[in-house]
Structure 1
């Protein structure tokens, strides 16, 4: 017994050291670089997009340390707005990914590039080490076409000849091994579970996929042609006749220059002036100081990215990188913005493929409350705002989507996998007992729905679908019959959705800000204030360890007293953060006022 207790005590001490020591060490290491050097007088920013992008910044402060961080579209466009009026920033060099990127992300960045060039009168060079048929690579080409100069590495290949999508169907596999996918869909275009139900595309599945892909493809190349000042039909014909080497692409007018990235860097530095230096984009973002909080009309910014779930996100690891929209968190942020007397309007940034209907309804109620409080709320759609993502958007004062945002998907599906026959082949028998009504055992995995269970389950699906249609009709001021025509679970691009009346305008985040200003009758400069969002590192540790934030701060203070200068820098940053904070927990989104 004594040895057992000693072992348990040892394990406990080890866990405490790991859970407390490791996170604290990571905080100290991150904070050791909290006092960056000034931005050089002549700076060329280098923005590397090859590592992938999220739409918004992670909701927890340790996501990057846990491998789930990286750059976000929102942080990039905010930083470009600062850089375009910064006299020290002369230009930007962008490293393009070799494959495709989310079309709406490319749309948003393109608008930011165009604004940087127009307002700042500064060049952007884009450099590619090749564009290969992976994902929607035409969107990557479109982004390169928006630059002042489009470079490619010698002997690399431009293979943006079209777009393809491949689906893996499991029906025959399931039949062979006794797995039954028992699902209900509302309706034929709600095809998320089609790979489990069929062995090939259904006509509706094929039609819907080709429709949104064709819209994305045509939009990307038409936009690229516009930016390169060539005829869209001619550009599409040339692109589709590829692939080309970099040298051939230049000869055909698809790009501007051929050279190594070092050549592009040297060209930009030479243009920037004597003594110009390259600076990593993220480093510049960290060095850019926030402007003091200003009084006056304020537009709140509430962000939501990921699958929609009920709850508050409590108890999860602060090192997780997956984005999730927790209904309690987002609804609270919206209500906080409503209650803030300085907030005159709200921009609600949504990037979600959907999720729980009850969680979506909780968030939609907060959206409607904003309108009832006479605070216009404008949705800015990111990569997608489909299914539950459209549910939470439908009641807004206005919706602004990128041309290639994937939205709509007004429908519902649900069901289960019945594994009884499959497991029986391995000597595993699944038996069920239940009390109460027969439906209590409906979601057991041993067998499929009974006819009675299916009828009751189908009725549930019908009620959710009817409620979804009603909310869209009410929010968009459309007849329910019309919504049913364009719903059926079908996905639309932003361009298509605008034609159908599902969105109001095409554009990005700052176009949504302009719309919010207009609806709130705000003139001149306004302040953007982020409401809700990520916690401080100390709050995140408090949630994970179950100890108070004060205890974590005390731990940092103790190390400072023992002479650790890195911990002193943590306390310095804590003091700065407190000075920047507001009573509502909001923070200034960007130091440049939006006009």
Structure 2
């Protein structure tokens, strides 16, 4: 048995070393070829093609496998490349396949604006899908497709534009049945983060708040469809209320232009544009025509839950993670770079750690104190901690469908003593100090601990609302009504004073020009902070992690081998006197 364990550890170490060495060579060759193929010589006249899979990621990925396959274009990448193509004389049209797309409101609106800017250059745009939302849920995906000049749908396909719905399970009875007691609380009635564990169903307050949110978002989709397809609002509403709509019926209702297959749609665009060559958007790079004198603006992307700590060493992690250490380091580098004149902070987060949010908030303020204006631009989400970090920005931009606000807090724990009793599990406990282990799931809060817990929620909520009020210049007597955990659409948030302007990066750049007192036609060079890793660096990081793992396994094997062989683990001790 001992020899078997030692052998297993040795085998694992060898495997990881082989993986590190072999993958090092293969990945190096693969990425070298990939980098060479990534920028092919483009024809003088071309059509751009794009197949959207699900929803494009909010930030760039650090995953080497995604980079190797080319599946790494972020939403910002797509928008910037379409914008660049609009000005590129080589590009004659745009073809997008929506067969596997599933877009959020904000992402659809961001892409729709880019498509409109492309069309403004009198370049044709064609949308195709074999079916759109086979199981429903394609309302905003279709709202984006409706902005194209021509929309094609496969004959067997349908439009699953069945509106918007929110569903959530309520687990309080199930938790009680298994002996789990939620000890949670929130500030305030609209926060909605813990009610699924503590209540039997939606409260009237939360139901009303979420109903207003979905009604607001659906109204935005209806307007996009009506304007894009040049039909009445009533007809757009009727289409949504009678979905799914078969392809032939969609033609009759002017929701699509033609039935056909992908090859048919692409051929039609080629004929219309008199252009045969096609280039994937992945392989297209916007020509750099900016003068050297263009003002440099740092772009800092952060997506996902707001967490404490640094960016970490995970080779599969996203470069745009919302780790406080990574974001603060990016702000610090931008502030210290004398060539950077301002910062655009791209946020896509449902929230997270209050302490991490506070750390990032201070970095935003430090940039402003250094004389560098900050414009926050929001993606799909910028809620709770995601809104907290935006609050001090000089300007805040959001899409109409961005989910933002949620100015509130919740916290607590689950007490598992009832579950342990049912399972016959007993915990021994030793503690020193009256409050030791107060966050343990193996005991309830004492009355004194619960009172302090309530005080901490009040303190965090008061701090949150005061900072938003100061950053947004909202009187405190109005702030509480805007806060209380309510989630706003971007459009409603603008009306409430939480957002300055609706839009995306284009509008953020315009606001930055104004803050820097530059003319409307001043050219700004957007520079990512930190600089994105190239594919080779990502591969090296990946291989390095494999080698580190092999080293650790070897270290464990070396330490365990004497014990497994029956030898002493004790070593002489040197005592310094």
Bucket of the pairwise TM-score, normalised by the shorter protein = 0.7 to 0.9
CA offset at residue 538 of structure 1?
5.9
Q: 1:169 to 1:350 in 2, by over 3 A?
A: same
Give per-residue Cα distances to partners, 1:493-543, cap 9 Å, x unaligned. 000000000000001111111111111112321211111154345655676
Question: In the alignment, what sits opposite 1:525?
Answer: 523
CA distance in 2, matches of 1:141, 1:8: 53
Question: In the alignment, what sits opposite 1:280?
Answer: 280
Question: In the alignment, what sits opposite 2:194?
Answer: 193
Question: In the alignment, what sits opposite 1:466?
Answer: 462
Question: In the alignment, what sits opposite 2:398?
Answer: 401
Question: In the alignment, what sits opposite 1:80?
Answer: 82
Matched pairs, number? 542
Q: 1:544 to 1:251 in 2, by over 3 A?
A: closer
CA offset at residue 193 of structure 1?
1.7
CA offset at residue 248 of structure 1?
0.9
CA offset at residue 239 of structure 1?
3.1
CA distance in 1, matches of 2:245, 2:186: 44
CA offset at residue 171 of structure 1?
1.3
- Structure 2 residue runs of 5 or longer lacking an equivalent are 548-577
Question: In the alignment, what sits opposite 1:477?
Answer: 473
CA distance in 1, matches of 2:113, 2:496: 24
**8 Å contact from structure 1 (residues 56, 305) kept in 2:** yes
Give per-residue Cα distances to partners, 1:543-585, cap 9 Å, x unaligned. 66769x9xxxxxxxxxxxxxxxxxxxxxxxxxxxxxxxxxxxx
TM-score, reference length from structure 2: 0.88
Question: In the alignment, what sits opposite 1:573?
Answer: none
Q: How do 1:246-395 and structure 2 match up within 5 A?
A: 246-273=247-274, 276-285=276-285, 294-315=292-313, 317-320=314-317, 324-395=321-392
Give per-residue Cα distances to partners, 1:121-163, cap 9 Å, x unaligned. 2111111222337575221121011111111111321231322
Q: 1:361 to 1:330 in 2, by over 3 A?
A: same
CA distance in 2, matches of 1:324, 1:206: 32
Q: 1:136 to 1:465 in 2, by over 3 A?
A: farther
Q: 1:365 to 1:322 in 2, by over 3 A?
A: closer
Aligned counterpart in structure 2 of residue 442 of structure 1, from 438, 445, 451: 438
CA offset at residue 269 of structure 1?
1.6
CA offset at residue 385 of structure 1?
0.4
Q: SS of 1:217's equivalent?
A: helix
Question: In the alignment, what sits opposite 2:66?
Answer: 64
Q: Kindly indicate whether residue 489 of structure 2 is the aligned counterpart of residue 493 of structure 1.
A: yes
CA offset at residue 208 of structure 1?
2.0
**8 Å contact from structure 2 (residues 180, 416) kept in 1:** yes
**8 Å contact from structure 2 (residues 59, 320) kept in 1:** no
CA offset at residue 362 of structure 1?
1.1
CA distance in 2, matches of 1:290, 1:114: 22
Question: In the alignment, what sits opposite 2:244?
Answer: 243
Q: 1:209 to 1:171 in 2, by over 3 A?
A: same
Q: SS of 1:298's equivalent?
A: strand
CA offset at residue 430 of structure 1?
2.9
**8 Å contact from structure 2 (residues 392, 471) kept in 1:** yes
Q: Between 90-99 and 106-115, report the one with greater CA deviation.
A: 90-99
Aligned counterpart in structure 2 of residue 42 of structure 1, from 35, 38, 45: 45
Aligned counterpart in structure 2 of residue 411 of structure 1, from 408, 412, 425: 408
Question: In the alignment, what sits opposite 1:18?
Answer: 19
CA distance in 1, matches of 2:178, 2:467: 42
Q: Between 398-407 and 426-435, report the one with greater CA deviation.
A: 426-435
CA distance in 2, matches of 1:533, 1:197: 45
Q: 1:415 to 1:67 in 2, by over 3 A?
A: farther
- Structure 1 residue runs of 5 or longer lacking an equivalent are 550-595
Q: Between 125-134 and 86-95, report the one with greater CA deviation.
A: 125-134
**8 Å contact from structure 2 (residues 54, 100) kept in 1:** no
Q: SS of 1:385's equivalent?
A: strand
**8 Å contact from structure 2 (residues 55, 101) kept in 1:** no
RMSD across aligned C-alpha pairs, in angstroms?
2.6
CA distance in 1, matches of 2:53, 2:259: 19
Q: 1:322 to 1:303 in 2, by over 3 A?
A: closer
Give per-residue Cα distances to partners, 1:10-36, cap 9 Å, x unaligned. 543332222443255223212213223
